[in-house]
Amino acid sequence: MTPEQILQNSKELWATCIPHLSVDNVVFGFHDTQLKVLLLQVNEHDQWLLPGGYVRKNENVNNAVKRVLKERTGVDDIFLHQFATFGDVNRSEAFFDGYPDDLWHKQRFISTSYYALVDYTKVVPVLDEFSLASEWINVDSLPNMMMDHRQILDTALAVLREQLVYKPIGVNLLPEEFTLTELQRLYEAILGVKLNRGNFYRKIMKYDILVKLNSTRSGGAHRSPDLYKFDEDKYNASLKSYSW
């Protein structure tokens, strides 16, 4: 955007949005045994941001985050989980040196952050007017991220790992039919470690959320592995039924 456009944008944001509050999204996808996250490249210096934006004056924060994700990535209708709010002073970088002090973008912002688990195959990133690129990037080879967005991403991943201890995961991240090995690879990608096959099998079976299908994965020289799908009712129940 030109300086004139930035000043105009600032004016519009003061008129329509809640100052000092932003939302940021950590969108995870799984592909080819890799956990990926959707990032925006903001300039030619290999600097990246999480897709984020602002909350309108008459809009619930939980709705703003969906609208922002739609506007900045083209991703629609996905379930976002709020996981933390980042409120340290000096979160911003000096992006707007030289602009007036009352520029919207120069204010201090507190970020309420959400994560989402999406079907990688169903999300085609769309470029917005602020970004040079919108890409899926492996979580273990992240580029240079601006502000505290690396910390936000790391926190999302830590929360996800913690929830994996007592909740199953996989719906939205795997295709509808999958092998046990594919499910294990997903767990390994999130946890960042290799898991023992036997232990994984025993633990995942305890949840009683899988349905074995009568078909197998065809193709390849080896014996075709069994295919499974999630029992949606049991899966959803297990998300809520953790008990002491």
Binding interface with a copy of itself (CB under 8 A): 18-21, 55, 57-62, 64, 82, 84-85, 87-89, 108, 110, 112, 162, 164-166, 187, 191, 195, 203, 242-244
Cα 229 from Cα 153, distance rounded (Å): 29
CB 155 to a copy of itself: min, Å: 11
Q: Closer CB to a copy of itself, residue 2 or residue 58? A: 58
> If you ran DSSP here, which 8-state letter would residue 170 be given?
B
CB 92 to a copy of itself: min, Å: 14
Spatial contact of 141 and 34, defined as CB atoms under 8 Å apart: no
Q: How many CB atoms lie within 10 A of CB 148?
A: 19
CB 76 to a copy of itself: min, Å: 21
State the distance between the two ends of the chain, measured CA to CA, in whole angstroms.
Answer: 54
CB 29 to a copy of itself: min, Å: 21
Q: Closer CB to a copy of itself, residue 39 or residue 148? A: 148
CB 35 to a copy of itself: min, Å: 15
CB 85 to a copy of itself: min, Å: 4
How far CA 151 is from CA of 55, 86, 147, 204, in Å, comes to: 22, 9, 9, 30
Beta bridge partners of 80: 116
Q: Closer CB to a copy of itself, residue 81 or residue 217? A: 81
Q: Closer CB to a copy of itself, residue 61 or residue 137? A: 61
φ/ψ of 57, rounded to 5, equals -60, -30
Q: Closer CB to a copy of itself, residue 183 or residue 227? A: 183
Reading the block at residue 17, the tokens are 């949005």
Cα 234 from Cα 238, distance rounded (Å): 6
Cα 53 from Cα 154, distance rounded (Å): 19
Q: Closer CB to a copy of itself, residue 40 or residue 65? A: 65
CB 174 to a copy of itself: min, Å: 17
How far CA 128 is from CA of 17, 101, 194, 212, 237, in Å, comes to: 19, 26, 37, 42, 38
Spatial contact of 118 and 29, defined as CB atoms under 8 Å apart: yes
Sequence-distant (≥ 6) Cβ neighbours of residue 140 within 8 angstroms? 34, 35, 192
Q: Closer CB to a copy of itself, residue 26 or residue 39? A: 26
